[in-house]
Amino acid sequence: MWLNQPLATQAAITCYRAALRSASPAHVIIDNLFEGVKLDEVMSVLHQPQRWCTQQHTYSALYVDRAEWQEACDEQRFVQRDLWQREASVGQPSNAADAFLSFLRGEEFMRFLSAIFNSQLTDVNVTNPLINTNYFRMDTSDFVRLHADDSPGRQVCMLLYLNKRWTANAGGELFFRGDGKHSIRIAPLYNRCVLFDPSSKGSEHWVAPLTAGGNPQYRYNVTSWYWTE
């Protein structure tokens, strides 16, 4: 059981819907949505270094190779971070980290999100659903600059933070642009889930750089995108 069941009841979902309607951008923060013991098992896997690789995006082209990245000017570069390499084997995942990613694209969790957003989410028309749910980590050399996640048909973005003992001076906060006058700051605390509608006004976002004196070394999160039919 991955979900913390008291936070996944119909009464809780009603509260999340109300929060979405009243927030700009449309978002809701849910702390401790998942079972902490299970997430601890996930982190024991993610702390192993061998399955991380660098991911880089530019505003003009996603998933650029090293040559394209070197040719791009600094103003064109908007993401540099590490990406988790999911296991390639078919069948049951062999570790907690990959099992959690499978859960996040499974029927139970997508039904939960569909109820919150009052919209039927589905992977029927998604070419490769697995690449839309994964772990990322950042250190002080990495960055996620201002961007939007509003691809056609994309209804929900989920961010889940996996950072224990995060300190106020560590940086790494998520910022929504908001109304243009007042941005919204969200600390990346352990087991904090942020759900938002990427098409809603003010949902453009960025991540504050990590500070050199911050603790711990890496900022971990899960990002997952979901579509309607």
What span, in angstroms and rounded, lies between the C-alpha atoms of 55 and 61?
A: 13
Mean pLDDT of the chain: 93
pLDDT in tens, 20-37: 999 999 999 999 999 999
What is the DSSP-derived secondary structure letter of residue 104?
H
Name the pairing type of β-strands 184-186 and 154-161.
unpaired
**Res 229 pLDDT > 80:** no
Strand partners, 176: 184, 205
Tell me the pTM: 0.95
- pLDDT of the residue at 123: 92
- pLDDT of the residue at 90: 64
What span, in angstroms and rounded, lies between the C-alpha atoms of 7 and 13?
A: 8
pLDDT in tens, 46-88: 998 889 999 999 999 888 999 999 999 999 999 999 999 987 7
93 band by pLDDT with thresholds 50, 70 and 90 = confident
Q: Which residues of 12-42 are buried (b: 16+ CB within 10 A; e: fewer)?
A: bbeebeebbeebebbbbbbeebbeeebbeeb
- pLDDT of the residue at 145: 97
Q: Which residues of 54-65 are buried (b: 16+ CB within 10 A; e: fewer)?
A: ebbbbeeeeebe
How distant, in Å, are the alpha carbons of 86, 131, 150, 173, 203 from that of 147? 25, 19, 9, 15, 9
